[in-house]
Amino acid sequence: MNAPKEGDYIAIQSYKHDGSLHRTWRDTMVLKTSENAVIGCNDHTLVTESDGRKWVTREPALIYFHKKYWFNVVAMIREGGVSYYCNLASPHVMDQEALKYIDYDLDVKVFPNGEKRLLDVDEYEAHSAKWHYSAETDRILKANVKVLVDWINNGKGPFSKEYIDIWYNRYQELAHPPLEHYLVLIAKEDRTDCAVFFFCFLLRMIFIKSGVCSKKAPDLLFSKKRLFNKKAILDGV
């Protein structure tokens, strides 16, 4: 399948070792894809549990998946700071239905003050006995806990402030484009009627006066078929 593009929405599905569906996040916007990694963001997205229970996330969350690591990272952006929920899990796969991975119970939670907690150890031991996790799987997961803690302690990858700033800002740009964006979309329409151009001209005046956009950006409004003398019109603005 073709990899999703920036701005596309995908579902995320978490499975358990026995193949049963564990949890589904309905809508996550893709911010970046590469050969190994996926970065995305969801905000107030619908989550469905294995028992059919549904709930909606409360805050924006950046998600990070990498095919070379047995964990994924959710950065929850709150007023009091950024909290992280890190799932020990298999590397992800992507198909036309969703991004998918196997959840291996263990979680590391990181609080805004830097405190770390390893969660669900009892659940891991119970499921390991129930579903017969292999010795190799156990070794890989425990090694990846160490890698994860090193990333946290040293502010690597998704645990850096720059990561949060860059990718949350990009999400906001894609999810809530500025008004200039809509002006550009209008400009790209191949229309010749005077009413459209006059409407665009009025918008330009309003936005410049209000400081929403610069004088330069809306020049695209007149870049197609000029029914007016652009210079004569703009000299008065």
SS3 assignment, position 233: helix
| The two structure tokens encoding residue 200 | 């665009």
Q: For residue 195, what are the CA distances in angstroms to 69, 161, 182, 185, 190?
A: 56, 48, 17, 16, 13
What is the per-residue DSSP string for 145-203? HHHHHHHHHHT-GGGSHHHHHHHHHHHHHHHS--HHHHHHHHHHS----HHHHHHHHHH
Q: Any idea which residue has 């701005």 for tokens? A: 7
d(CA 163, CA 168): 8
Q: For residue 177, what are the CA distances in angstroms to 41, 78, 141?
A: 16, 22, 40
What is the per-residue DSSP string for 116-152? EEEE-HHHHHHHHHHHT--HHHHHHHHHHHHHHHHHH
d(CA 99, CA 168): 20
The amino acid occupying position 39 is: I
Q: Which one from 23, 26, 53, 204 is the annotated catalytic residue?
A: 23
CA-based diameter of the chain, in Å?
A: 80
23 is catalytic: yes
Active site residues: 23
